[in-house]
Amino acid sequence: MIVRGKGSTVWDAEGTELLDATGGGLWNSHVGHGRRELAEIMAKQVEELEYFTTFHEFGNDKTIRLAARLAEHAPAGLNKVFFTSGGSESVDTAIKAARLFHVRSGEPDRTWIISRSASYHGCTYGSGTLTGFEPMQIGVGPNLPHVEKLSPPYLYRAGELYGDQDPTDFLIAELEQTIARLGPGNVAAMIGEPVMAGGGVLTPPPDYWPRVREVLSSHGILLIADEVVTAFGRTGVWFDSVQREMEPDLVTTAKGITSGYFALGAVLMSDEIAEAITADMGFFHGHTYSGHPVGAAVALANLDIIEGEGLAANALSIGDWFRAGLAPLADLPSVGDVRVEGAMAAIELVADRGSRAPMDIPAVFGLADEIRKHHGVIVRPYGNNIILSPPLVMTQVETEVTTKSIVEVLSRTGS
Ligand code: PMP
């Protein structure tokens, strides 16, 4: 029971102090907990205007300003923004926009969406079907039709997945074969996280996204960058898709846009897509809380803090401190791989280093519990990974406490 927070520290109901190496648990607390200035902004906005719809001809000043601010930093050409209440809604909005764009452009057969195994895109029927973890789809079907999954760029398991082929060559051939099988004129879009977060911080080879982009462009297929985790500094930049050379047509965001102080998401898209989907009878899509003025006010102040305090640069330092602090794990038999990308890290745990068989999930949870109980550090067990995604304000000393705790527990438990 977490009841209070300040910076990278939280306190439970018994008053126990815990270091939050997970950024609120779900990669979202960028500016850290307990920011008085954000509380004040929220209170002021509630007094001024707590809510009014942004449907039809209505809008509000904060939402318009936030859209302009996002467009300023967005990947080239993405000037239009649709607001949502979170990541899953952003992903659903993006896939609807992609399909509708093709319909309004005279290509109604483009309905297929390509996604990847090991991805995480949300839990609604749309985003949940795109998500690459089967438990999300089991027992709740039928799921969204016309979704196809490709292999992920997972270099630690390159041998198992790609044989002796170059990973990017394998993945591009798979993409081309999939498009050929579905029919190039039947595919609407491909969606991908620039770096796969939930899948275990999987950074693709540098030539992966440029080559994917080239194939998609040659077939008129849109690319959606799911930046719900990566945007707003977590990997050292505003939008990670820019440094991966994805050149997306749409970008989905949420989480760090408000650092968790308000449930807000945003979908960025090109003028061309925005114009197509709002033509004719318009885009029949919108949530009660789309464009919420309190969310937008908090987002603006949150982005000011991220910029003003240089938190994107600190994310890169956090990555360096993690790399150094986690280096001793290289000698432990249960650690298969350690992957760090900015202020995100995954420690992939295995039952056997030779076969790379994943460690049992209950054992991974047990280790995370041990790290919390013995050292007061919260890490996140996710599949067979221990995930770190701290607030971007985390200090060097706090990262050292985190890495030492992990190294101590994994060494002591014979892992
Ligand atoms: N996309 C990605 C890449 C995510 O990691 C998540 C959530 N972790 C989502 C979408 C869904 O966001 P939400 O939980 O806010 O619906």
Question: What are the residues whose beta carbons fall under 8 Å from the beta carbon of 310, sequence distance 6 or more?
Answer: none
Cα separation values, 221 from 78, 111, 134, 135, 353, Å: 16, 10, 25, 28, 40
* Ranges assigned E (strand) in 132-228: 147-150, 187-192, 222-226
Query: Which residue has tokens 């008053």?
Result: 15
Dist. CA 128 → ligand 1 center (Å): 10
Q: Which atom of ligand 1 is nearest to the CA of 230?
A: 3
Q: Choose one of 255, 258, 261, 264 to mutate for the ligand 1 pocket test, by most ligand atoms within 8 angstroms of C-beta.
A: 255
Count the alpha carbons within 13 Å of 331 in the hemisphere toward its beta carbon. Answer: 6
pLDDT at residue number 104: 95
Is there an atom of ligand 1 within 6 Å of 388 CB? no
Query: Which residue has tokens 């249960």?
Result: 334
Q: Choose one of 229, 232, 246 to mutate for the ligand 1 pocket test, by most ligand atoms within 8 angstroms of C-beta.
A: 229
Tell me the pLDDT of the chain (415 aa) as tens digits. 999 999 999 999 999 999 999 999 999 999 999 999 999 999 999 999 999 999 988 999 999 999 999 999 999 999 999 999 999 999 999 999 999 999 999 999 999 999 999 999 999 999 999 999 999 999 999 999 999 999 999 999 999 999 999 999 999 999 999 999 999 999 999 999 999 999 999 999 999 999 999 999 999 999 999 999 999 999 999 999 999 999 999 999 999 999 999 999 999 999 999 999 999 878 999 999 999 999 999 999 999 999 999 999 999 999 999 999 999 999 899 999 999 999 999 999 999 999 999 999 999 999 999 999 999 999 999 999 999 999 999 999 999 999 999 999 999 986 5
Is there an atom of ligand 1 within 6 Å of 120 CB? yes
Cβ burial of 274 (10 Å; 0-12, 13-18, 19+) is buried
Gyration radius of the chain over CA positions: 21
pTM beyond 0.80:
yes
Is there an atom of ligand 1 within 6 Å of 136 CB? no
Query: Which residue has tokens 């600190």?
Result: 314
Cα separation, 386 vs 371, whole angstroms? 11
pLDDT at residue number 97: 98
CB-CB contact of 283 with 292 (8 Å): no
pLDDT at residue number 239: 98
> What is the second-level CATH architecture of the domain 38-308?
3-Layer(aba) Sandwich (3.40)
Beta-strand pair 222-226/187-192 = parallel
SS3 (DSSP) at 82: strand
Superfamily per CATH, domain 2-31+310-412: Aspartate Aminotransferase, domain 1 (3.90.1150.10)
Q: Show me where the domains of the chain are located.
A: 2-31+310-412, 38-308
Cα separation, 371 vs 157, whole angstroms? 27
Dist. CA 14 → ligand 1 center (Å): 31
Q: Which atom of ligand 1 is nearest to the CA of 254?
A: 15
Is there an atom of ligand 1 within 6 Å of 247 CB? no
Dist. CA 100 → ligand 1 center (Å): 23
**Nearest-CA residue for atom 1 of ligand 1:** 121
Cα separation, 250 vs 264, whole angstroms? 17
Dist. CA 63 → ligand 1 center (Å): 22
